[in-house]
Amino acid sequence: MLMRTDPFREMDRIIQQLSGASGTWSKPSVMPMDAYRDGDVYVIAFDLPGVSTEAIDIDVERNMLTVKAERRPTGKSDGVQMELSERPLGVFSRQVMLADTLDTEHIEAEYDAGVLTVRIPIAERAKPRKIAVGSGSGRKQISG
């Protein structure tokens, strides 16, 4: 159901992690994700810890799902001196090419405990259906 579009994207993500670079609007960091089918629904889960729901943007154009989010530094008072900063900040983005067998008109998304879960139903035309076989005339009917 999912089609990979850029084989070098994972390499970019690893390089960004090793270099400590944070994402910008012109070159966002990649967010990790899992994708699986659960019955008649395709589920994609994106890791976005520390991101507010207002900072998450989800778009679908044709069969391209785009998720963008921004994690900003937490507000600190003037007297705070940072000792260690390992949590990535900046802009995160991921594009996923969806198969034609998914119903992009009925996508649902929820955000809980730092995980954005996008649920996309399998289109009715892609579900298996029984074909009745008639006798005598040789005609077959599709029931669905």
Q: Could you give phi then psi for residue 92, rounded to 5 degrees?
A: -120, 145
What local confidence, expressed as pLDDT, does residue 86 receive?
A: 73
What local confidence, expressed as pLDDT, does residue 47 receive?
A: 94
19 alpha-carbon distance from chain centroid: 25
What local confidence, expressed as pLDDT, does residue 71 receive?
A: 87
What local confidence, expressed as pLDDT, does residue 41 receive?
A: 95
| CB distance 3 to 97 below 8 Å | yes
Which of the four pLDDT bands, split at 50, 70 and 90, describes residue 140? Answer: low
Which of the four pLDDT bands, split at 50, 70 and 90, describes residue 68? Answer: very high
Residue with tokens 């994207």: 9
What local confidence, expressed as pLDDT, does residue 45 receive?
A: 97
132 alpha-carbon distance from chain centroid: 38
Render pLDDT for 121-130 as a digit per residue (tens, 0 to 9): 998 876 777 8
Which of the four pLDDT bands, split at 50, 70 and 90, describes residue 80? Answer: confident
